[in-house]
Amino acid sequence: MPENRESESRKLLGRLRDALAEDSAGQTRLDKITHLIANSMQTEVCSIYLFRDVETLELCATEGLNPEAVHKTRMRLGEGLVGRVAKQSRVINSADAPKEHGFRFMPETGEEIYSSFLGVPIQRLGEKLGVLVVQSKTSRTYSEDEVYALEVVAMVLAEMTELGAFVGEGAALAAPHQQPAMFKGLVGQEGTAEGHVWLHEPRVVVTNPIADDPESELARLVEAVDQLRVSVDELLSSAKTKDKEQFEVLQAYRMFANSRGWMRRMEEDIARGLSAEAAVEKEQSTARARLETVPDAYLRERLQDLDDLSNRLLRILTGQGTSTGAEMPPDPILIARNIGPGELLDYGRSLRGIVLEEGSVGSHAAIVARALAIPLVIQTRSITNAALNGDAILVDGEQGIVHLRPEESIVSAFRDKIIMQTEAQQRYAGVRDLPAQTTDGQVISLYMNAGLMADLPSLAGSGAEGVGLFRTELQFLARNQVPARDDLAALYSRVMDAAAGKRVIFRTLDIGSDKVLPFMRRVDEPNPAMGWRAIRVGLDRKGIMRMQLQALIRSAKGRPLSVMFPFIAQFEEFKAARQHLLDELEREKRLGHVVPEKVEIGAMLETPSLAFAPRHFFEMTDFISIGGNDLKQFFFAADRENERVRRRYDTLNVSFLNLIGQIVRRCEETGTPLSFCGEDAGRPIEALCFSAMGLRSLSMRPASIGPVKLLLRRSNLEEVRKVIQGAEAAGEQSVRPALMDWLAQQN
């Protein structure tokens, strides 16, 4: 690039900075900028289009087009050449614009006389902000150099938009981080929360995009990149990164950190007049824009790596986000692109809510959020870009909606909703210590599901009779290595202490499927939910299973112990697992250790096949617990994590209820205690229906016990049974409508 071009570019940026530094209104600034650019690039037209809302671009300033059109001419995303630049986040450079595919002429602007067109996106880290356009009468293609110069200017405009430089009267634009925004995602964990944003990875703010002295900026960049390389090398050689996947990511980091292309582009940006951090951000923005359009998963991951690396570099350059500079608000709502279970556990219950850009219903983070009973909304696209630390935020985990910087009316409606929920909670508190006895005298035992020590305090407050399902995998998921037996025993023991004599049913490890342990080699399976998981892993890797069983036996310190094995699909598996437990008991006795005074060994019924197991199976099990989440997904062949099919089949579908009925009958024949511990047990209507079908024990989230108990105490199961039979006789697909009608009549 010729030296004079570089200095031209620097001169323009210098003038831009002066214009921006002046204490003028947003519109005046925009007008000045278009004038400066048109002059400097010797084009007749320069226009700035900014987003009015996510779908609409508006002409906000122009030099050369009809000034009357400013704030009047609008186009939709994708419409005309300007709309296309924005939509595809790419440059359009045409010598004969009217002949271009998709050209749409806006008569009010008077642009018909301009033949050549150059449009570049104004974007910041993947966030579309607008389009910067130059046009001229003579038909010519703009040189690579000119395109580049305009991109650099667009970068500065993006930064200034971010900082709110164009806010104010007439400009009709608010700073992007001051406007209310609503995000629609998916429910990860129900519940509502009001609080303030706490970014897991705080956003770096570049306050000085333009720099005068390229030499010193270059030196800053080189120094920062050196620092970055050293830190990546250190990570790579550290013992902690023996994990293959992490190792691969770090190697990709190193590759980028040493990449000449990346470095050269940033050097050129600096030569054009950008500061070191603005140069890093410009390349990051380009990579993010590319990320959106790349269909290849591998390439996407690499671009993601580059993005992470750029963030690290920005933190080194600005010193932001590396220290404990910002203080966590007292009512933090965590926002992250994604987060691991360990990191989430570190935050623990201090969080009011969690919002993730990615994540899935069955992800580790979701499992932990559920265990911690923190409202979670997942798949909220681009929220990490939109949110700033300390922003007010409302999380509606019932609907999967997040309101960022909400307006007053939204806040008050939201608070009303919370008050209503609190009132309902108070009503539930009134029945907390009463039995879940129906009006026809049936008593249903209500237990709670847990997975963390931190869940135990809910035991007393919820009115649960005990823990019907203690998911033991969370302690494993949160660690980088297999936990030691003594640590596990101590933890299980504390769980029993906290339960103070109430029954706790420990479920042995259910790993595999979506729950992959950080220290286990990942096995790629076509259908992990139906793959090598739970008891299948336990029976094949006996070491871990035996270690866990020993820990459970020791934790009891002589108290009664209840253990259940997950995902049993055939009798033999239960027999083998049970035998391991009996062997371990023998061994402990031989070693002279105290053994539990009583041991109950149960099975989870999570596959339809087990409902048809030989009678011997039902005789041998001390109890059976229906894992409805899995049972339902396999019964209907509908993935519980797939949002497209997850809700397609109703739990109250007559076929599913027939299966439940069959399990109830078989357990009655052999006198085997039966319970239900899937999520559906915590839904009042489902719980009512299961009770009417003969289930006498349900295990659910602690917060569900109140609502379930309240409904059971008001209902007559004999009548409910008649409603169910009536719906079935009438050939209904689901008994829900009939049950709802009946409930409405009951008021």
Which residue in the block uniquely carries the two structure tokens 């609190």?
422
Smallest separation (angstroms) from ligand PEP to the CB of 625? 8
The DSSP result for 474-534, as a single string, is HHHHT-SSPPPHHHHHHHHHHHHHHHTTSEEEEEP---BTTB--TTSPP---S-GGGSS-T
What are the φ/ψ torsions at residue 457 (nearest 5 degrees)? -55, -25
Smallest separation (angstroms) from ligand PEP to the CB of 718? 28
Smallest separation (angstroms) from ligand PEP to the CB of 582? 24
For ligand PEP, the binding residue among 208, 304, 350, 629 (CB under 6 A) is 629
Smallest separation (angstroms) from ligand PEP to the CB of 451? 8
For ligand PEP, the binding residue among 80, 678, 682, 702 (CB under 6 A) is 678
**For Mg ion, the closer CB: 239 or 637:** 637
Smallest separation (angstroms) from Mg ion to the CB of 568? 11
364 binds ligand PEP (CB under 6 A): no
What are the φ/ψ torsions at residue 76 (nearest 5 degrees)? -85, 160
Residues touching Mg ion: how many (CB under 5 A)?
3
Give 97-100 contacts, CB < 8 A, sequence gap 24+.
97/135
Looking at residue 745, the DSSP 8-state letter turns out to be H
Distance CA 9, CA 17 (A): 12
Smallest separation (angstroms) from Mg ion to the CB of 572? 20
Smallest separation (angstroms) from ligand PEP to the CB of 678? 3
Smallest separation (angstroms) from ligand PEP to the CB of 630? 3
Q: How far are the Cα atoms of 109, 476, 562, 689, 701 from residue 502, in angstroms, in the given order?
A: 77, 24, 11, 26, 17
Alpha helix stretches (DSSP H) within 594-735: 608-611, 615-620, 628-635, 654-670, 684-692, 702-714, 717-729
Contact present, 154 and 130 (Cβ < 8 Å): no
Sign of CA dihedral 590, 594, 600, 602: negative
Distance CA 206, CA 282 (A): 11
627 binds Mg ion (CB under 5 A): yes
Which among ligand PEP, Mg ion, none contacts residue 195 (Cβ within 5 to 8 A by kind)? none
Contact present, 641 and 514 (Cβ < 8 Å): yes
330 Cβ contact partners less than 8 Å away, ≥ 6 residues apart:
none
Contact present, 92 and 100 (Cβ < 8 Å): yes
Smallest separation (angstroms) from Mg ion to the CB of 634? 10
**For ligand PEP, the closer CB: 206 or 613:** 613
**For ligand PEP, the closer CB: 125 or 469:** 469
**For ligand PEP, the closer CB: 310 or 513:** 513
**For ligand PEP, the closer CB: 165 or 631:** 631
Q: Which stretch binds Mg ion (CB under 5 A): 178-186, 229-237, 622-630, 707-715?
A: 622-630
Q: Compute CA 655 distance to the chain's CA centroid, rounded to the nearest angstrom.
A: 33
Smallest separation (angstroms) from Mg ion to the CB of 86? 45
Q: Where are the beta strands (DSSP E) in 80-154?
A: 92-94, 116-124, 127-136
Count of CB atoms situated within 10 Å of the CB of 369: 28
Smallest separation (angstroms) from ligand PEP to the CB of 484? 24
369 binds ligand PEP (CB under 6 A): no
Distance CA 25, CA 166 (A): 7
Count of CB atoms situated within 10 Å of the CB of 99: 10
Tokens read off for 336: 């992250």
Residues touching ligand PEP: how many (CB under 6 A)?
10
For ligand PEP, the binding residue among 630, 674, 692, 695 (CB under 6 A) is 630
Which among Mg ion, ligand PEP, none contacts residue 194 (Cβ within 5 to 8 A by kind)? none
31 binds Mg ion (CB under 5 A): no
Within 462-521, the residues that bind Mg ion by CB under 5 A are: none
Smallest separation (angstroms) from Mg ion to the CB of 567? 6
**For ligand PEP, the closer CB: 252 or 469:** 469
Residue 337: strand, helix, or coil? coil
Smallest separation (angstroms) from ligand PEP to the CB of 206? 44
Smallest separation (angstroms) from Mg ion to the CB of 362? 10
For Mg ion, the binding residue among 151, 162, 190, 630 (CB under 5 A) is 630
For ligand PEP, the binding residue among 606, 649, 695, 712 (CB under 6 A) is 606
Within 595-614, the residues that bind Mg ion by CB under 5 A are: 606
**For ligand PEP, the closer CB: 345 or 604:** 604
628 binds ligand PEP (CB under 6 A): yes
∠ CA 80-183-332, nearest 5°, is 140
353 binds ligand PEP (CB under 6 A): no
**For Mg ion, the closer CB: 272 or 533:** 533
Distance CA 735, CA 507 (A): 32
574 Cβ contact partners less than 8 Å away, ≥ 6 residues apart:
565, 568, 603, 617, 620, 621
Give a three-class secondary structure readout of 279-320.
HHHHHHHHHHHHHHHCCCHHHHHHHHHHHHHHHHHHHHHHCC
Distance CA 266, CA 582 (A): 66
Smallest separation (angstroms) from Mg ion to the CB of 47? 58
For ligand PEP, the binding residue among 133, 221, 478, 677 (CB under 6 A) is 677
Contact present, 411 and 431 (Cβ < 8 Å): no
Which among ligand PEP, Mg ion, none contacts residue 471 (Cβ within 5 to 8 A by kind)? ligand PEP
Contact present, 646 and 640 (Cβ < 8 Å): yes
Which among Mg ion, ligand PEP, none contacts residue 162 (Cβ within 5 to 8 A by kind)? none
Which among Mg ion, ligand PEP, none contacts residue 468 (Cβ within 5 to 8 A by kind)? none
Q: Which stretch binds ligand PEP (CB under 6 A): 102-110, 246-254, 585-593, 622-630?
A: 622-630
Distance CA 689, CA 698 (A): 12
The DSSP result for 20-70, as a single string, is HHS---HHHHHHHHHHHHHHHHT-SEEEEEEEEETTEEEEEEEESS-GGGT
Q: Which stretch binds ligand PEP (CB under 6 A): 20-28, 305-313, 625-633, 661-669?
A: 625-633
510 binds ligand PEP (CB under 6 A): yes
**For ligand PEP, the closer CB: 641 or 732:** 641
For ligand PEP, the binding residue among 128, 471, 533, 666 (CB under 6 A) is 471
Which among Mg ion, ligand PEP, none contacts residue 628 (Cβ within 5 to 8 A by kind)? ligand PEP
**For Mg ion, the closer CB: 168 or 627:** 627
**For ligand PEP, the closer CB: 286 or 607:** 607
Query: Which residues form the interface with Mg ion (CB under 5 A)?
Result: 606, 627, 630
Query: Which residues form the interface with ligand PEP (CB under 6 A)?
Result: 469, 471, 510, 606, 627-630, 677-678
